[in-house]
Structure 1
Amino acid sequence: MSDTIDHPQPTPRRYRLTTADGVDIDAVLLRGTEPRTTAVVLANGFTGTYRSPHTRAVAESLVSIADVMTFDFRGHHGSGGYSTVGNAEIHDLEAVVAHLRGLGYTSIATVGFSMGAAVVVRHAAVHGGVCAVVSISCPSRWYYRGTRRMRLIHLGVGRAVGRFFLRSFRKVRVTDRRWEVRPAEPREIAGEIAPTPLLVIHGEADTYFPVSHATAIHDAAREPKELWLVPGMGHAERAVSPELRARLRSWLRERIPA
Structure 2
Amino acid sequence: MLTDDGVPVEAVYEPCTAGSAGPGSIPPRAPADVPAIVVAHGFTGSADRPAVRRAARVFSQRAAVITFSFRGHGRSGGRSTVGDREVLDLAAAVAWARTLGHARVVTVGFSMGGSVALRHGALYTDREEGPEAREAAGRAPVRDRRTGERSGAHFGAHADAVVSVSSPARWYYRGTAPMRRLHWVVTRPSGRLVGRYGFRTRIATDDWNPVPLPPVAAVPLIAPAPLLLVHGDRDPYFPLDHPRMLAGAAGEGGAELWLERGMGHAENAADDALLGRIADWATAVPPA
**TM-score clears 0.5:** yes
DSSP 3-state at the match of 1:228 = strand
- 1:112 matches 2:115: no
1:67-108 deviations in whole A, cap 9, x for unaligned?
A: 000000000010000000000000000111111112221100
CA contact (8 A) 1:73 1:79 kept: yes
- 1:18 maps to amino acid: L
Conserved? CA contact 1:190–1:220, under 8 Å: yes
- Residue type matched to 1:206 in 2? D
- Is the Cα–Cα contact under 8 Å of residues 220 and 254 in structure 2 kept in the other structure? no
Runs of 4+ in 1 over 4 A off after TM superposition: none
TM-fit CA distance, 1:64: 2.0
User: What is residue 31 of structure 2 aligned with on the other side?
Assistant: 36
Worse-superposed segment, 38-47 or 57-66: 57-66
Q: Distance in 2 between matches of 1:247 and 1:100?
A: 22
Contact 1:157–1:163 (8 Å) recurs in 2: yes
Q: Larger Rg: 1 or 2?
A: 2
- Secondary structure of residue in 2 paired with 1:213: helix
Between Structure 1 and Structure 2, which shows a larger proportion of strand residues?
Answer: 1
**1:50–1:162 CA distance, 2 compared to 1 (3 A):** same
User: 5+ unaligned residues in a row in structure 1: which ranges?
Assistant: 1-16
Give distance in 1, aligned partners of 2:38 and 2:114.
Answer: 11
Give the distance between the partners of 2:103 and 2:279, measured in 1 at CA: 19
Contact 1:109 1:256 in 2 (8 A): no
Q: 2:131 maps to what in 1?
A: none
* SS class of match (1:210): coil
- Is structure 2 residue 208 aligned with structure 1 residue 179? yes
Q: How does 1:151-166 map to 2 (within 5 A)?
A: 151-166=180-195
Alignment TM-score, normalising by the size of structure 1:
0.91
Q: Deviations over 1:185-230 (max 9, x none)?
A: 0101100101111000000000000011001111111434200001
1:23 pairs with one of 4, 7, 10: 7
Q: Distance in 1 between matches of 2:75 and 2:255?
A: 34
Structure-2 residue corresponding to 1:4: none
Q: Which residue of 2 aligns with 1:232?
A: 262
Residue 64 of structure 1 corresponds to 61
Structure 2 residues not aligned, in runs of 5+: 21-27, 126-157
Alpha-carbon shift at residue 239 of structure 1 (Å): 0.4
User: Are the aligned partners of 2:173 and 2:179 in contact in 1 as well (CA < 8 Å)?
Assistant: yes
Q: TM-score, normalised by structure 2?
A: 0.81
Percent identical among aligned pairs is: 44
Distance 2:109 2:272 in 1: 17
Say if 1:131 and 1:255, in contact at 8 Å, map to a contact too: no
Whole-Å Cα distance in 1 between the matches of residues 222 and 244 of structure 2? Answer: 16
Deviates most, 21-30 or 224-233: 224-233
Indicate the residue corresponding to 2:152 in structure 1.
Answer: none
Distance 1:121 1:209 in 2: 16
